Chains A and B, each alone.
Chain A
């Protein structure tokens, strides 16, 4: 069949590119997919599928917007999986608890950790569509435009969701602080 091409600098570069992508994005994608699916096992499969698709891409096709591409493919695959299994299980409460295991980061003070966990709890109470967009923006660093392309929402829709979520969180914080609660 096909002769085995000798390893060349080119093959090492492409391999290095894929490896770099896996190392950089696997964790975030897993976290994102777990939220979408509510199930870390299926999330792992979806993330594998995503990187399989990446392997088939010429480097140039994704260069410059790799993260956005990965999240888009991951999201589409997650929804396919959900549809196929007729289970629209987004933001399942149980799954959310599994992901947010309250382990303090090494070196972080206990108070700071409590505050962070409190914030995460607040975020978890947001509606699922706001949560997804908030995480894409503030956890994964995407811009409104990128989020719009990943989620297929309009940019103004994205902006509205983020605005609403931030407004909600601002007022929750304000009232929590007024009550003297951490």
Chain B
């Protein structure tokens, strides 16, 4: 690459700015990086650009959000534009996959939200019986073709968790779990002028909402102002349960070798915009993998393509539980052989990689993989050279966290994934289950089989292991299967004595659990997370870790109840 000497960058080159903002890739990036590395004035310019960018981001982040997101105030209308009811034409979306599952209407109106007057009929169902829920009259006297629709309105900022409006379709509000909010204390009496014309579904006093003729698949909406929150029935009823798995029954677990990091960007965006991220947007494995950790790669002399960095210490959110950090690092390639010619990405060092974690039931009562609630998602690969799922490039690393209930510690199996909800403890334990105990007082099963097993195994090296990580793969162009095993013996380290990387990853996981209202970290506060992160930040000035700490602080402002 003699092109390096031809790059004459000066301070005023847009490529320098692009490089400073991590917008360059591949060869161009490498060339500019080399030019910058060789010239102190360019390095200084890059630092300045980054500092400017940082100040911009912080200042823009502080710019207040537009007014409509403040709490809804009931007040006289400021506009004479007619409020319109927009009905989403179900038939137009019937062919779409999404429509097979739901039909939405966006009801946008400029008026007070919770009226008890009969005029609210346009939002209600034709012919549905009058019913009263939660103190609000739901009238079924609408005159329009109700058919299949649900009204959805836009979020109000600080009513997270508060039930909002849905009116169900087809007279079956029960199916949709309609929850109708209590009316506010004051109700404006200013009428909404309804335009004359066909299809007016308003009842008395012009209080409501004209019908809009549909204009095809995506009619526009005019004049209305969004108010309340959009909650499809049932979505909030799921409370993410704890998902420990009994090691005696299912000792093997797996996690993906590639983890996306998009969740971190989403969480950051929400928090920087002053909003709590939705639970489903918080994927803890992605948060943890957003950061880099210092895992040693296999030595060049090793044949193995992977090295593992395993660590166990007490879980900071549940000190009687163990937290296991499994880090895997793929070998680096010798200098000069780093890139493929056409893509600039590092070469593939292993194919068809799979990871298995096997827990030792003599040491482990139960475990849960933190963060892979839906199996994880694969990160998109930019290399392009026949890259398949399970292919790993040189230098790749991945981190997985398991929370382990060790043998000898009380565990409530009614929280186990798949455990039936409404059975007595005695009925729950299947016959022949070696970990089953007769329930003690309060229905908590106690262990003694595992205790004695672990005591008996104290001198035996295998029995002393907590788990074994097995990585299987094929060497490219060789075809033969390889596998490496990495056992872990838990030395009983306390959290405070674990490495910085370990404690930082735990802080990130704790953050995710707080944001998800996870029952496994029910007593953890954001101030705890902040303390763990700060104490683990170490001396290295990793900007991502610094930014994480600011995000935690920001979250504390947005969620004071969990601070």
Interface residues of A (CB under 8 A from B): 1-2, 4-8, 10-16, 18-20, 22-24, 26-28, 30-31, 34, 40-41, 43-45, 48-49, 51-53, 55-60, 64, 67, 99-101, 103, 105-108, 113, 115-117, 119-120, 123, 134-135, 137-141, 143-144, 156, 159-160, 162-163, 166-167, 169-170, 173
CB distance from A40 to the nearest CB of B (A): 6
Chain A min CB distance to B68 (Å): 6
Which of B13, B53, B86, B235 is close to A52, meaning CB atoms less than 8 Å apart?
B86
- Residue of chain B at shortest CB distance from A166: B52
Report which B residues bind A (CB closer than 8 A).
12-18, 21, 23, 48-49, 52-53, 55-69, 79, 86, 88, 90-94, 96-98, 100-104, 106, 108, 147-148, 152, 154-155, 169-170, 172, 175-177, 217-226, 230-235, 262, 265-266, 268-270, 273-275, 277-278, 280-281, 380, 557
Partner of A53 from B55, B218, B226, B278 at Cβ < 8 Å: B218
Q: What residues of B have a CB within 8 angstroms of the CB of A41 in the complex?
A: 79, 225
CB-CB nearest 8 A-B residue pairs: A15-B232, A119-B59, A163-B14, A139-B60, A11-B101, A11-B102, A163-B17, A10-B101
Q: Give Cα A18 to B274, complex, Å.
A: 19
- A20 interface neighbour in B92, B169, B281, Cβ under 8 Å: B281
Contact between B230 and A141 (Cβ–Cβ < 8 Å)? no
| Minimal beta-carbon separation of A12 from chain B (angstroms) | 5
A119-B59, A170-B49 known, 4 other contacts, Cβ within 8 Å:
A7-B102, A23-B278, A115-B59, A167-B12
Inter-chain contact B280/A16, CB cutoff 8 Å: yes
Is B86's CB under 8 angstroms from A27's CB?
no
Contact B269 A24 (CB under 8 A): yes
Is the CB–CB distance between A144 and B232 below 8 Å?
Answer: no
CA distance A159 to B108 in the complex (A): 39
CB contacts (< 8 Å) of B102 on chain A: these are 5, 7, 10-11, 14-15
5 A–B pairs (Cβ distance < 8 Å), ordered by A = A5-B148, A23-B278, A24-B275, A99-B66, A156-B14
Q: What CA separation (Å) do A60 and B98 show in the bound complex?
A: 9
In the complex formed, the residue of A with least CB distance to B150 is A15
A43 to B69 alpha-carbon distance, docked (Å)? 13
The residues of B that contact A169 with a CB separation of less than 8 Å are 52, 56
A27 x B232 contact (CB < 8 A): no
Contacts A18-B230, A119-B56, A159-B18: A26 and B155 contacting too (C-beta < 8 A)?
yes
The residue from B49, B57, B68, B155 contacting A44, defined by CB atoms under 8 A apart: B68
Q: A27-B69, A138-B56 are in contact. Are A55 and B104 (CB under 8 A)?
A: yes
How far apart sit A160 and B17, CA to CA, in the bound complex (Å)? 9
Contacts of B269 in A (CB 8 A): 24, 28, 67, 140-141
| Residue numbers in A under 8 Å from B86 (CB-CB) | 52
Scoring A7, A51, A53 by chain B CB atoms within 10 A of each residue's CB, the highest score goes to A7
Known: A49-B220, A105-B557, A120-B59. A31 touches B65 (CB 8 A): yes
Within 8 Å CB of B61, what residues of A?
139
**CB-CB < 8 A to A44: which residues of B?**
68, 225-226
Q: Give CA–CA (A64, B266) in the complex, Å.
A: 11
B64/A48 in contact, CB under 8 A? no
A20 to B270, CA, bound (A): 11
Question: When the two chains form their complex, are residues A7 and B176 in contact, meaning their CB atoms are under 8 A apart?
Answer: yes
Known A-B contacts A105-B557, A119-B56; the reply to A141 vs B154 at CB < 8 A is: no
Query: Which residues from chain B contact A34 at a C-beta distance below 8 Å?
Result: 66
How far in angstroms is the closest Cβ of chain B from A17? 8
Kindly state the separation between the CA atoms of A15 and B278 in the bound complex, as whole angstroms: 13
Beta-carbon nearest neighbor of B66 in chain A: A30
Assess whether A27 is in contact with B59, with CB atoms less than 8 Å apart: no
Using A8-B101, A30-B68, A141-B265 as known contacts, say yes or no to A23 and B155 having CB atoms under 8 A apart.
yes
B235 and A19 within 8 A (CB): yes
